Amino acid sequence: MDSGQPVGPMGYSMRAVFNQTWLLTWTTKGTWLPGDRRGWVSGAEFNAPDTASQAPSESLRNWCLNRMQADPVWLNLEQAQAVLASLQETAKVQGWWLAAVAIMPNHVHVVVGGPNRVDGAKFLGRFKSYASRGLNARWGKQNWWTENGSARVLPDLDAVHSAMEYVANQPGPLVLMIEKDR
């Protein structure tokens, strides 16, 4: 790392903070339905920092559960490792900075930086697409992820540090990767 580059409070290298950095979150298919008691996010108005999730609704959750045409997808350790490898390869090929990743059995968090011309939805779509390809090649084709996800822009270095700490402190990750200062 160049000595003139900023370093985060947990020793994170900021050598490659691009013009825009994002916190991405997406869930595995069928494991976090609209109406879930843990809260849920749907629509642009809920996809901003410091925005509360939508209220639980058991009737909405049950309606969604009854419409499911396949079992929920829960990742195991080997699948989570394959997802991480796909995320790392995608970031490398695209020239993106993969700052932090936490892969839980039912959702993924990623902090990623890139040029302004790439929006959060594009990061999200590419990561999910390439991770699906890797999973499909080893475990058979299926719909691994929910349709959308959350792509929250991180407006400054403090927000990047906070997002990286949030990812680092996820409970029970199958796989955790945090870029640290070397």
Question: For 67-107, what is each residue's pLDDT tens digit?
Answer: 767 788 899 999 999 999 999 999 999 888 899 999 999 99
Whether the predicted pLDDT of 178 surpasses 80? yes
Whether the predicted pLDDT of 116 surpasses 70? no
Whether the predicted pLDDT of 157 surpasses 80? yes
- Residue with the larger pLDDT of the pair 35 and 164: 164
State residue 61's pLDDT score: 62
Whether the predicted pLDDT of 1 surpasses 60? no
State residue 159's pLDDT score: 93
State residue 112's pLDDT score: 93
- Residue with the larger pLDDT of the pair 176 and 150: 176
Query: What is the C-alpha to C-alpha distance for residues 12 and 32, in angstroms, rounded to an integer?
Result: 31
Mean pLDDT value of segment 3-32: 65
Nearest alpha-carbon partner for 154 in 84, 97, 89: 97
Q: What is the residue-averaged pLDDT of the chain?
A: 80
Reported as a pLDDT band with limits 50, 70 and 90, residue 19 is: confident
